[in-house]
């Protein structure tokens, strides 16, 4: 594919020698570019590639999104083999909702819906097995069936919620504490720390933090030359507060709890 999609037309990074023309996952692909002219060229080249491979693109499912765009009237119409492609303000990619303003708030809200559905599944299972009133069994079910839904994709959308204070406002945290309070029969205003102490789990942001640190370590230990360069490029702009690396470093250096229990749990 790389011989069809020209690297010098890809999206720029902080390294002058590194540009990313496309991101692939399974049978999905995202073409990336900094200019409208380059993106249209990438679409034309991708058409050549699919024709060469005997493949066909579903243009109904192919969308265009221009990040950080305010005046959409200035955005040209992009086409694939002469077919106009729809310009959208948000798009779901592998269950994570991306918006053109670059904010992860919408993604966090959508993931909370999945978390809510997973909690409902816990109640259905406990009803069918007859142990709805057994607190410890419910908590174990929650850890197995619900918590994983609250973690999906958090390496991307939870990056700005890595502290106790910032995580408190997230719908996922509200759902998490609501479930725990109901297990205890506690009132809505019961102190969060008391609820967590009595039920045993860590605050929800801890689980996000651990997933992100594991992802971070995977990035640093990667033997993929391009990924290594992308990580280095993000390091170079880590002083900007809207970058992924800044958020991770800020949480590590300033906002992560200092207790040894927390640090030991992160390493586990």
Q: What is the pTM of this model?
A: 0.82
For residue 267, what pLDDT band results from cuts at 50, 70 and 90?
Answer: low
**Where on the phi/psi map is residue 256: left (φ > 0), alpha (ψ -120 to 50), or beta?**
beta
Rounded to whole angstroms, the maximal C-alpha distance in the chain is 64
β partners of residue 90: 99
Nearest-10 crossing angle of helices 171-184, 105-129: 30
Average pLDDT over residues 89-106: 88
**pLDDT recorded at residue 103:** 85
Q: Quick check: helix, strand or coil at residue 63? A: strand
| First CA to last CA distance, the chain | 40
Q: Which residues lie below 8 Å from residue 83, measured CB to CB, with a gap of 6+? A: 59
Distance of alpha carbon 147 from alpha carbon 111, whole angstroms: 12
101-115, 184-198, 243-257: lowest mean pLDDT where? 243-257
Nearest Cα residue to 145 out of 126, 171, 162: 126
**pLDDT recorded at residue 17:** 82
What 8-state DSSP symbol labels residue 77?
A: P
Is 96 within 8 Å of 156 (Cβ atoms)? yes
CA dihedral 191, 192, 198, 203 (to 10 degrees): -170
pLDDT at 266 over 50: no
Mean pLDDT value across the chain: 86
Distance of alpha carbon 202 from alpha carbon 207, whole angstroms: 7
- What percentage of the chain carries pLDDT values higher than 90? 38
pLDDT in tens, 151-174: 999 999 998 898 888 888 899 999
pLDDT at 260 over 60: no
pLDDT at 253 over 80: no
Q: What six digits make up the tokens of 209? A: 């933090």
Contacts 24+ apart (CB under 8 A), 51-59: 52/4, 57/81, 59/83, 59/85
């Amino acid at each position: 594919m790389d011989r069809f999609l020209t690297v010098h037309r890809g999206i720029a990074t902080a390294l002058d020698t590194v540009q990313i023309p496309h991101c692939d996952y399974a049978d999905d692909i995202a073409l990336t570019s900094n200019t409208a002219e380059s993106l249209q060229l990438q679409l034309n080249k991708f058409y050549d590639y699919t024709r060469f491979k005997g493949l066909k693109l579903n243009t109904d499912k192919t969308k265009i999104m221009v990040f950080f765009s305010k005046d959409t009237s200035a955005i040209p119409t992009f086409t694939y083999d002469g077919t106009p492609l729809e310009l959208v303000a948000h798009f779901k990619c592998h269950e994570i909702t991306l918006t053109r303003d670059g904010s992860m708030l919408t993604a966090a809200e959508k993931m909370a819906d999945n978390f809510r559905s997973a909690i409902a599944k816990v109640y259905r299972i406990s009803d069918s097995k007859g142990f709805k009133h057994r607190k410890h069994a419910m908590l174990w079910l929650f850890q197995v069936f619900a918590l994983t839904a609250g973690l999906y994709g958090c390496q991307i959308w939870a990056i700005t919620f890595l502290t106790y204070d910032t995580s408190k406002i997230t719908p996922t945290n509200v759902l998490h504490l609501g479930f725990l309070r109901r297990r205890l029969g506690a009132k809505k205003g019961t102190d969060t720390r008391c609820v967590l102490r009595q039920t045993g789990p860590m605050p929800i942001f801890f689980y996000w933090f651990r997933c992100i640190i594991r992802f971070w370590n995977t990035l640093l230990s990667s033997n993929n030359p391009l990924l290594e360069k992308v990580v280095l490029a993000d390091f170079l702009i880590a002083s900007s507060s809207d970058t992924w690396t800044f958020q991770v470093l800020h949480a590590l250096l300033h906002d992560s709890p200092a207790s040894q229990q927390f640090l030991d749990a992160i390493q586990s």
